[in-house]
Structure 1
Amino acid sequence: MTTNAYQLAKTLHRLSRQLRRRQYNKNTAPHHDHSHLLLLIAETPGIIQRDLAIKLDIRPSSMTETLVKLENSGLIIREHDKKDQRVMHIFLTEAGKNSTKESHEQNLALNNSLFDCLSTEEIQQMLTIGQKLSDHLASVQGICNKAHCQHKHRHNCGHHRCQMTESANNNNMGQ
């Protein structure tokens, strides 16, 4: 690895740690560590537990454990599907909605203060580079990371658009 690449990886790691530390300081909302999960539930009321695990790229058993904690805290309710008792739908409670709103407001304030030192062009460049790195890392790991794909899965999952992308990529490599 070149010295510049090593320095970049080190800087990105440090930035990631700083962001986590700042985001999760003592002044944040309760259940801040689950704010992304609560936001996903808020965006899709009744979302299926399995789909949440896929979107967050975590094991179903870990998702169950997290949801039980949130349910015990009164932030969500889980309901079995009327047609298939194996399927569990997730909904926010009023307390969950309030927590999500508070967390969202804090995230906006954090993001505004964090990125106010960058120009609009620099923010766009970082977005482009960040997405490029994320896509590359996902492809190296064999995980679908395309915007059209609502679930992060292995490329050989059978998802039609992923197969089309894979096929196009393979054809371009041969040229």
Structure 2
Amino acid sequence: MSELSNELFKTFNQVIHRYRHYYGMQFSTDHRSVSQIRILKQLNSENGQIQRVLAERLDIRPSSLSECLHKLAAKHYIERQSDDHDRRITHVFITATGRTILTEALDGHDEFTETLFGSLTHQEQQALNELLNKLETTLSDTQNFDFMSEFNKRRSQTKL
């Protein structure tokens, strides 16, 4: 089983690497990043968020968010406004231009996923989705899956 697990892990890593490469290329030609699109998407669903809250919801370091917001503002995709009651608080708003860019990106995302999964039948897509959900559940269940504990236990069992 270990050889097959290693082969699965290798293949899975290759798929993730290629996915990131090609999906990232979709945005790099227009000098956008996946992070910038994530920010626009979040703002489109809830406009006027406070920077701190936006960073928390996107799980981005505040310094990284500030850098992305600076780039988005320079392209006129977002506007930042100080809070009327507390000038230390900044609200972030998506602009009409930002919405247009987001729509283009989401359309591109749909084309990308159709191309990526187009080689699979509907049944294969469903099966892959179920298997990936099972892996995601395993990884997210930190209460029942302590990776380091499992790793150390298996390593001690295989020592010569």
Q: For the superposition of Structure 1 and Structure 2, which TM-score range results when normalised by the shorter chain?
A: 0.7 to 0.9
Instruction: Determine which structure has more spread, i.e. the larger CA radius of gyration.
Output: 2
Give the 3-state SS of the residue equivalent to 2:120 in structure 1: coil
What does 1:11-160 correspond to in 2, within 5 Å? 11-25=11-25, 28-33=29-34, 34-140=36-142
- Give the counterpart letter for 1:129 in structure 2: L
Aligned length, in residue pairs: 142
- Give the counterpart letter for 1:55 in structure 2: R
Higher helix share: 2
Shift of 1:26: 6.5
TM-score (norm 2): 0.73
Shift of 1:88: 2.5
- Alpha-carbon contact 1:30-1:99 (below 8 Å) kept: no
Return 5+ residue gaps in structure 1 as ranges: 142-175
Over the matched positions of the two proteins, sequence identity in percent amounts to 30
Question: C-alpha distance in 1, partners of 2:138/2:50?
Answer: 29
1:148-171 residue CA offsets vs partner (Å, 9 max, x unmatched): xxxxxxxxxxxxxxxxxxxxxxxx
Compare 35-44 and 17-26 and name the one that shifted more: 17-26
Question: C-alpha distance in 2, partners of 1:126/1:81?
Answer: 46
Question: C-alpha distance in 1, partners of 2:22/2:66?
Answer: 28
- Give the counterpart letter for 1:31 in structure 2: R
- Alpha-carbon contact 1:29-1:99 (below 8 Å) kept: no
Return 5+ residue gaps in structure 2 as ranges: 144-160
Indicate the residue corresponding to 1:163 in structure 2: none
1:61-118 residue CA offsets vs partner (Å, 9 max, x unmatched): 2212221221122211112232343432221122211211111111111111111122
Give the 3-state SS of the residue equivalent to 2:119 in structure 1: coil
Question: C-alpha distance in 2, partners of 1:51/1:126?
Answer: 34
Shift of 1:5: 2.0
TM-score (norm 1): 0.68
Give the 3-state SS of the residue equivalent to 1:25 in structure 2: helix
Q: Give the aligned CA root-mean-square deviation in angstroms.
A: 2.6
Question: C-alpha distance in 2, partners of 1:5/1:84?
Answer: 54
- Alpha-carbon contact 2:26-2:108 (below 8 Å) kept: no
